[in-house]
Amino acid sequence: MTARGQIVKAMVIIQRPRDGALLVSESHDPAGAVFHRPLGGHVEIGERAADTARREITEEIGQQLEDLRQLDVLENIFQWDGETQHEVVFMFAARLADEAAYEIAEQHVLDSPDGRTRVIWRPPGATTPPLYPVGTSKLVLG
């Protein structure tokens, strides 16, 4: 087993006001198992995590954020395709600037390499599929 190194990410918890559903991307691990994660991505060298959060939401779904605030920093150590991964994830909460965007049931990540990564609303209280990084569910409001 090899280690790939550390990765710094920023992710954004966006909840739909009417029911508390969480905006997530739906992905698959190398074995094909489905998992969810908040939208976000890699912090570039010299870029602040908050700026990454704003940039990633624009790149992924073409939306702007309002009221961005940092909630926590999570550490995520896991196995991926036979390698140890170590992420340090700045977790933010925000709301979408365009109220109409809360009514888009499903879309695809605009900058996804394969164009197939879905963005959906995860129902409040859902326990499957798993939500990563570990600790995210504790940050989601009620």
Residue 105 counted as domain residue: yes
| CATH code, 40 | 3.90.79.10
| Residue 117, φ and ψ in degrees, nearest 5 | -70, 120
Q: For 38-50, what is each residue's pLDDT tens digit?
A: 999 999 999 999 9
In a domain, 137, yes or no: no
Does position 92 have pLDDT exceeding 90, yes or no?
A: yes
Question: Domain of 23?
Answer: 2-126
The answer as to whether 6 is a domain residue is yes
Residue 100 inside a domain? The answer is: yes
108 vs 14 pLDDT, higher one: 14
Consecutive H or E run containing 3: strand 2-13
Strands 2-13 and 83-96: parallel
For residue 133, tell me if it sits in a domain. Answer: no
> How many domains would you assign to the chain?
1
pLDDT tens, 116-133? 789 999 999 999 999 999
- The Cα 142–Cα 24 span in angstroms is 16
- Local confidence band at 14 (pLDDT 50, 70, 90 cut-offs): very high
Q: What is the pTM of this model?
A: 0.91
Asked, for residue 18, whether it belongs to a domain, the answer is: yes
Give domain status of residue 135, yes or no: no
pLDDT of the residue at 112: 72
Has residue 94 been placed in a domain? yes
Least confident of 40-54, 85-99, 110-124: 110-124
29 pLDDT tier (thresholds 50, 70, 90)? confident
